[in-house]
Amino acid sequence: MKTIDLSRTVPTLSDILVLAGEDTIILKTTEGREFVLAEVDDFAREVELVAQNEELMQFLEQRSKEAKRYTLSQVREQLNNKP
């Protein structure tokens, strides 16, 4: 699994897709959000590989323990107030 920090480099979509064809990619935005991109050729195999990724599993476990929750109305309000 490879991480591409988009605050340091801005590869083209074509470049990202080529990399995703070789390995699963984590795209990290300048805001710190992270997205996983993987080729969907054998979904069951991809799930198995992701489950074996200790770093990702620790990250997901940490995220699941976060106490802060938002109601649907709070999310809608935040989205409506964004420029």
pTM of the model: 0.48
Order of strands, sheet of 34-37, starting from the edge strand that comes earlier in the sequence:
2-5, 25-28, 34-37
CA distance 69 to 12: 35
* Crossing angle between the packed helical segments 54-64 and 43-52, to the nearest 10 degrees: 80
Output phi, psi for 41, to 5 deg.
Answer: -110, -30
**β-bridge mates for residue 5, sequence order:** 28
Q: Quote the number of domains for the chain.
A: 1
pLDDT of residue 27: 94
Q: Which domain holds residue 17?
A: 2-80
What pLDDT, in 10s, does the model give residues 14-70?
A: 999 999 988 889 999 999 999 999 887 777 787 888 889 999 899 889 888 877 888
> Which pLDDT score is estimated for 46?
77
Residue type, 34: E
